[in-house]
Amino acid sequence: MNVKTIATRPIAGQRPGTSGLRKKVTVFEQTPYLENFVQAIFDSLDGYAGQTLVLGGDGRYHNAAAIQTILKMAAANGFGRVLVGRRGILSTPAASCVIRKHRAYGGIILSASHNPGGPEGDFGIKYNTGNGGPAPEKITEAIYANSGKLTRYLTLDAPDVDLDLLGSTKLGDLQVEVIDPVADHADLLASLFDFDKIGALLRSGTFRMCFDAMHAVTGPYAHEIFIKRLGAPAGSVINGVPLEDFGGGHPDPNPTYAEQLIATMFADDAPDFGAASDGDGDRNMIVGRRFIVTPSDSLAVLAANATLAPGYAGGLAGVARSMPTSAAADRVAEKLGIGCYETPTGWKFFGNLLDAGKVTLCGEESAGTGSDHVREKDGVWAVLFWLNVLAERKLSVEAILRDHWKTYGRNYYSRHDYEGVDSAAANGLVEHLRAQLATLPGRRLELPQGTFHVKSADDFAYTDPVDGSVSTKQGIRVGLADGSRVVFRLSGTGTEGATLRVYLERYVADPAQHAIETQQALGGLIALADQLAGIRERTGRDTPTVIT
């Protein structure tokens, strides 16, 4: 085996964020940017000699080339086997499934999730541990530390591996197995949901669905599961062919970017059920006929109806949500008498709770829901769960939500994203808020929209109930006396400037007030957020880039 030791030097800024390292494709294409980061991953791990690594990505531009680089580096660094998806494809939840099913040491996932792709788009890479979940902070910090002291990386002088053909081949001493990227994940999902009842619904001729794969990774999964296994008409899946640039679109399943699905679901002849997933298949959006379900409400509805699905018939151990996610799921957990946990944003924070058996369902307001079947959020799983509930309850999506609100009350909720904000301006805004935290509680703020009494204000900190680890500065929360709240947070998923996210939540118990338009219901909080943070003044933005 011809192992080559290539001299290198540290590259600044290779600190993984909440979902790995994300930069422009043009950055990752520059040797040795990718090589350095991969070597930093390997240098941060122990005991992997001869072990199995899972490898794949969302099919975006540079995915195929990066996989060849990583295969050769895995061989040179001493891994024994790599399971890689055919054509380099593996959705993020499918990668987690494969890691867990085959008891792999860990996995490398190539994705920038919902970010745009193509030669001028974004690229990303993250490491998942043997439980199938994103690496915890102690590992990501070790990766960052090692990236700052690299002097060499190891690779193999060998030809590329043919990733189009299923089967096994040798790369030096490394066994490379090209696997079906869909099969393991599809089989796992089939074990959780009633495919007979869902299939009968989709084949009934009276129920129509539209799943938008957004030219991203879930196209093959949707065709295999919804059309081949469940028998839905072929037209039930749109934009189902993965493209390196996602067809020029932005593969983020929200009402702004999934505009084709929204137009379809709000047309006069709209299907009964609509859904979309993102670039790497871990996010989802659920839409009824002329009715959009927020991710927070989706988590709450699934928790309330969980026992309708065979895989959850025994009930839930608990529910976890990220701090910015609305408290709708908390109300369900309280009624069910199960635990409810509030974590920082980032799926890795759910891993310990899942592994310890404290929770069964998890969710984030950024269109991510999942369960203990894998250690990632799972877009196709969420769609199947909704279809299982619809098949059992025989109600429309809107009727299920309105019934849920009647029982639990409605948490009016919205997220306002200001994308590509000047980083200095965004950081200045956050520091301005932090400077007010000590004096905000007890204040009475008079605005044209009303009077607001501030009850609490803090910068969210989290102590993991399993391992005791502490995470600080996870988002600024301002709570009001009536139970409403505003949360401010800078996102770590973009590659240009900063993304300021403002989360707005107001609880209304009275069913007579549940038909108010969301932005209207939250109008006072929107004005309060601008007043507290000086959004217009500090960012120069009059309106958000995206409202979800």
Residues labelled catalytic: 113
**C-alpha span between 180 and 223 (Å, rounded):** 14
Cis amide prior to 310 (ω within 30 degrees): no
The sign one gets for the Cα dihedral 196, 199, 205, 207 is: positive
Q: What letter does residue 156 receive in the DSSP assignment?
A: E
Convert 223-244 into a string of H (helix), E (strand) and C (coil): HHHHHHHCCCCHHHEECCCCCC
Say which residues have a Cβ less than 8 Å from residue 378's Cβ, sequence separation at least 6: 93, 281, 282, 369, 370, 371
Quick one: which of 381, 375, 404 has its CA closest to 511? 404
Burial of 98 (0-12, 13-18, 19+ CB in 10 A): buried
Q: What letter does residue 476 receive in the DSSP assignment?
A: E
For strands 476-480 and 470-471, give the pairing: unpaired
Cβ atoms 112, 22 nearer than 8 A = yes
Q: Distance of CA 88 to CAs 35, 65, 164, 368, 510, Å?
A: 18, 9, 8, 23, 51
Give the distance, in angstroms, between the CA of residue 166 and the centroid of all CA atoms in the same chain: 29
The tokens describing 454, both together, are: 């501030």
Order of strands across the sheet with 106-110? 21-24, 122-128, 106-110, 52-57, 81-89, 174-179, 167-171
